[in-house]
Amino acid sequence: MLDENQLEKLIKQLETAINSGTTAEPNHRKLFEQAIWTVENIDEAVRSQALLKGFLPSEGRIEATKIAILNSLCSQVSEAWETINDGSELEDLGERALNLACDALDKLNALS
């Protein structure tokens, strides 16, 4: 389970992978795989992070944290994904990551 610092570190790593200007497949693959993992485990990660601080946050705070993480993921994944136009497995992986993050935002009524 990821705590808040680990989630922030993961987001920074995702941003660094995008901003490094490299288009090597392993970087995009890692970005997409980490984004999928984060979306699939976001409930557990956000709640466990809050419990580590010793208090139960309000549902509103939990939801706001999820939205912030998902918005960041959507931004980073879409930037990487739009550079891949070859119909490859990597492009499909990026599309899956983006769709999962957008679906999660939609469930939170936060898709913009």
The average pLDDT across 6-17 equals 78
* Domain residue limits at 68: 4-107
- 40-68 tens-digit pLDDT: 999 887 877 777 677 777 888 888 889 99
Contact between residue 73 and residue 39 where contact means Cβ atoms under 8 Å apart: yes
| 44 secondary structure, DSSP code | H
Q: Is residue 25 situated within a structural domain? A: yes
C-alpha separations of 112 from 4, 86, 95 in Å = 24, 27, 18
**Confidence at residue 2, expressed as pLDDT on a 0 to 100 scale:** 66
Q: Is residue 112 situated within a structural domain? A: no
Q: Is residue 84 situated within a structural domain? A: yes
Q: Is residue 85 situated within a structural domain? A: yes
Residue 72 CA, distance from chain mean position: 6
Q: Is residue 80 situated within a structural domain? A: yes
Residue predicted with more confidence, 82 or 47: 82
Q: Is residue 37 situated within a structural domain? A: yes
If one counts the domains in the chain, the total is: 1
Asked if pLDDT for residue 24 goes beyond 50, the answer is no
Asked if pLDDT for residue 22 goes beyond 90, the answer is no
Asked if pLDDT for residue 97 goes beyond 80, the answer is yes
Confidence of residue 21 (pLDDT cuts 50, 70, 90): low
Say what the pTM is: 0.71
